[in-house]
């Protein structure tokens, strides 16, 4: 089955800095890669996703890149704000399967 590794487990940045979270996956058949943000005690919320037919996608301060050859994808947050502090999860799912495999999460702390 699919295996998703996520790094780092904790990321501490100053407000205004950029943050990058990286994930690797094992199954080359995976073609959908969502990112979720989970604030303390809240539900995971989809913030951005990318499919295997594109290499990059951007939405305001958030961008995701995908390298299919290397089987890794990354989340980039620019101009971080304290409200970005949360746990971020990457996931990968195989074409035809509705079940994503999640990474273990990255706890992002943005210091004001």
Give the footprint of another protein on this chain (CB under 8 A): 32, 34, 36, 42-46, 49, 89, 93, 98-105
Enumerate residues 6+ apart whose C-beta is below 8 A from 84.
19, 77, 108, 110
Q: Which tokens go with 37?
A: 């943000």
Torsion angle (degrees, nearest 10) of CA 69, 23, 92, 109: -150
CB of 93 to another protein, least distance (A): 5
CB of 50 to another protein, least distance (A): 12
CB closer to another protein, 12 vs 45: 45
Integer Cα distance of 20 and 63 in angstroms: 10
DSSP conformational letter for 1: -
CB closer to another protein, 85 vs 93: 93
CB closer to another protein, 25 vs 36: 36
CB of 63 to another protein, least distance (A): 19
């Amino acid at each position: 089955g699919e295996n998703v590794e996520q790094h780092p487990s904790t990321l501490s940045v100053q407000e205004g800095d950029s943050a990058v979270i990286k994930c690797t996956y094992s199954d080359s058949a995976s073609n959908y890669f969502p990112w979720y943000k989970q604030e303390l005690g809240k539900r995971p919320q989809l913030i951005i996703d990318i499919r295997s037919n594109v290499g990059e996608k951007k939405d305001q301060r958030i961008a995701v890149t995908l390298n299919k050859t290397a089987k890794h994808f990354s989340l980039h947050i620019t101009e971080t704000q304290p409200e970005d502090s949360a746990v971020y999860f990457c996931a990968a799912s195989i074409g035809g399967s509705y079940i994503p495999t999640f990474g273990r999460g990255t706890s992002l702390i943005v210091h004001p």
